[in-house]
Amino acid sequence: MSDKRSLEIEDLFKIKFLDSPFISPDGEKIVFTLKWIDEKKNKYFSNIYMADTESKNIIQFTRGEHSDRRPKWSPDMKYIAFISNRGEKTRIWIIPASGGEAYPITEEDGSFSFFTWSPDSKYIIYSFKKKYKNPDEEDEKETSDKPEKKEPSYFLIDDIQFKSDGQGVTGPDKYHIHIINIETKETKQLTDGNFHDVNPVISPDGKFIAFCTNRSQDIIDDPENDDIFTINLDTMETKQITIERGVKSSINWSPCGKEIVFLGNHTDIGFGWLRNLGVFTVPACGGKDRKLTFDFDFTASNKIVGDLQEFAMGPSSLPQFFDNGKEIAFLATVKGACELYSVTLEGGKPKKILGGKVEIASFHIDKTGKNIALIMGDMMHPHELFHLKKDGNNWVLNKLSNFNEFIQKEIELTEPEDIWFRNSDGVDLHGWIVKPANFNETNKYPLIQQIHGGPHVLYGYTFFHEMYYLASRGYCVLYTNPRGSHGYGEKFAEAIRPHWGTPDTKDQLEFLEYVISKGFIDEKRLYLAGGSYGGYMTVLLISKTDKFRAAIAERSVTNLTTLFGVSDYGYTFKCAVEALPWEEPEKYNLYSPLYNVKNINTPLFIIHSEEDYRAPVDQADQLFTALKFLKKEVKYLRFKKESHGLSRCGSPKNRKIRLKFILNWFESHK
C-alpha cells in the first residue's frame, strides 16, 4: 500500500513555474525566472534565480513580492537586465552580476514586448508601448495624499486593433523600438507610426537593429503579412529587407552579421498561423529569403497547451546559432512533444538535438555554442532547469533544479497512457488517457473527455494539473488531438478549414468509441469538457448527441457573427470562415452552435470571464439565455476581473473556485 496521497487543488499553489533561461556568454551560469503563487495574498510573484552549470548550485538573485522576469546577461557579464513591476511601474531594471541593489533604467510606465543588449554592453534596445493616457487627463492634479492609480475615463478609437485579451482596451499607442544608454539613461525612440514594431535584435558589430513589423496598407485585409526592417544606427535610415509575403517572427542575427534568421512561412492570406513555421534566412542587406528546413512537416515553435504557464513562445525561443555560426537551433512541435532541432545554413532535413516524450519550453545557447540552458518537463514532472553541454560530438544533459520534486515524493500519480487510433477516414489520431490510482481493468469507470482550444494548438507531453486532479477523484480522463491540431503535419492542421466542427467532432466521437471498446468505461457516465475552441466543440457535440451525462463549456465561442465584431481577433474570421457575416450570414450561422441549441438535452455548465476579449462574455450570455428560454438544464459561472486565460493565469482564488465547480458539476450528475 502506497503512503503517497492524492493530488489536491492546493498542490497547484505549491508548484514553481520556471521560465526564460539565459546562459552567460562563457556558459558557466544561467539566470532564469521563477514564479510562485501566494495563496493567502491571491497573487503571483516572480524573482530571478542564478544557477552554476558545474556545481549545480542555485541561488535566489532578486527578492521581493513583485514580478521580476526575462533576465538577460550583458555581453561583458557585468550586469543582468530584467523587466519588473517594482514601484507600480513596469520598467527595465539592471542589477550587477556580482550582486547588489537593482535599479531602473527606464522611467515611463508601459508594456515591453522584447529587449536585448548591445554588443558593447552600453545600450539596451527594446520594443515598448507606453501606458495610454488621454491628452486632457494627463495634467489633472491629484489632490489626495495617497494618489490612486488612474485609468483613462474614455478611449477615442479609430483602429481595429484597439483591444487585447489580458490587457483590455489598449488605446491607440503601438509598440515601437527604443534605445537607451545605461549610464546616462539617454533614450531615443527609433520608430513610430500606426503599426507595431517588435522583436528588436542588434547586429554583432552594433551598427544595425533588425525588427519585425506588419506595415501592410490595410492590416484588416492582410493581418499576417510581416516584414523585417533594419535601422542604421549611424544614419537612422530604416530599410525593409524582406520581399516575400507571409509570416515572419522570432528573428536573430547570424554571428557574422551577414544574414538574419527568422521563423515564418509563405502562404496565402489567412493561412499564416495555421501552416507550419519553417526556419528561414534573409541577407541582412535585403533580398529574397531562403527556407532551410526541408522534409520536415512540423511547425518550428512550441504549440503545446497546459495549465502551468501561459501559452506563448517566450523570448528564449528565438532560433539561435551555434557551431561557429554553421547551424541554427530551434524548437519544433512533433506528435505531442516539443523538441530541440538544428539545421545547417545550407539547409536540409533538421536533425534532433534533444527530444523524446518531453516539452522543451524554452532554451538559450551561450556564445561558445557548447552550452545550452533549457526549461523542460514531461507528463510526470513540471518544468525544471537543465544544462545541455557539448562533449566532442555528443550532447550531455544535466538536471540543475528540483523545485517541484514534492510531486514525485508525495503524490500518487498515474502516468497518462498514449493512444493511437485510426479513424474511419484512415487518419491516425493521437491522445492520452489518465486512469485513477489503483485502476482495475475489470471495473467500469466514469470518463471525462477534454477538448483543447486553439484550434491550431495541441495537448502534449507536459504536466497538466487539472487532468491529474480529476483522475484522482476516480475518473478516467481522455484528451486527444483531433484534426486541426498542430504537430501532426500541415494537412492535418488544415483539415478543419473552413469546416469548423466537422472533421474534428467526428474525430472526438470516434476516439471516444474506441476507448469505450476497451471495456473499462461506464457508458452511462460519460462527461465532456472543453475551453475556447474546445468549448465551441463541446456545445456543438452536445447538440449532435445525447451520449454525455453532463458537459462543461468554458470561454466558448457560440455565435460567429457576433464574435466577428467583439473579439480582439474577430476581424480575422473573414479568413477562417472565408466570408463576411453581412455578405454570407448563412455560413456564420452554419458554424455557430447557438443556432442548434434546441437540440441540446445534455445538462450544461457554462464558465466564462467578464474580461475575456478573445471569446467575449456575450458568447456565454447568448448561450445561457437561449438554453434558459428553452427550459434546458443549464448553470452559468461568470467570473469578474478575469480574462480568457483564467484556467492558466487567473487569480489563484478563482482558479481554485473553477476547479471545485467543475468537479461538483460532474459529481452531481453521477
Residue 589 has what pLDDT? 92
CB–CB of 458/489 below 8 Å? no
Strands 521-531 and 476-481: what pairing? unpaired
DSSP-assigned letters across all residues of 363-387: EEE-TTSSEEEEEEEETTEEEEEEE
In a domain, 659, yes or no: yes
CATH at residue 648: 3.40.50.1820
In a domain, 487, yes or no: yes
Of the chain, the end-to-end C-alpha distance in Å amounts to 28
CB–CB of 238/221 below 8 Å? no
Q: Starting at the earlier edge strand, list the strands of the sheet with 43-52.
A: 17-23, 29-38, 43-52, 58-60
Spacing of C-alpha 463 from chain mean position: 15
Residue 138 has what pLDDT? 58
Collapsed DSSP state (helix, strand, coil) of residue 352? strand
Spell out where 277-316 has E strands.
Answer: 278-283, 290-291
Residue 313 has what pLDDT? 41
In a domain, 244, yes or no: no
In a domain, 470, yes or no: yes
In a domain, 634, yes or no: yes
Find the Cα–Cα–Cα–Cα dihedral 234, 239, 241, 243, rounded to 10°: -170
The residue segments making up the domain with residue 433 are 412-667
For residue 190 the three cell numbers come to 527609433
Collapsed DSSP state (helix, strand, coil) of residue 326? coil
* Nearest C-alpha neighbor of 385 from the set 367, 366, 409, 404: 404
Angle between helices 652-667 and 465-472 (to 10 degrees): 40
Residue 451 has what pLDDT? 98
In a domain, 443, yes or no: yes
Residue 312 has what pLDDT? 43
Type of residue found at 495? A
According to DSSP, residue 329 is labeled E
**Rounded to an integer, what distance in angstroms lies between the CA atom of residue 435 and that of residue 414?**
6
Parts of the chain with a pLDDT under 50: 141, 143-144, 146, 312-315
Tens digit of each residue's pLDDT (9 = 90 or more) over 209-261? 999 999 886 777 777 789 999 999 999 999 999 999 889 999 999 999 999 99
In a domain, 606, yes or no: yes
Residue 143 has what pLDDT? 46
In a domain, 456, yes or no: yes
- Overall domain count for the chain: 1
Residue 170 has what pLDDT? 82
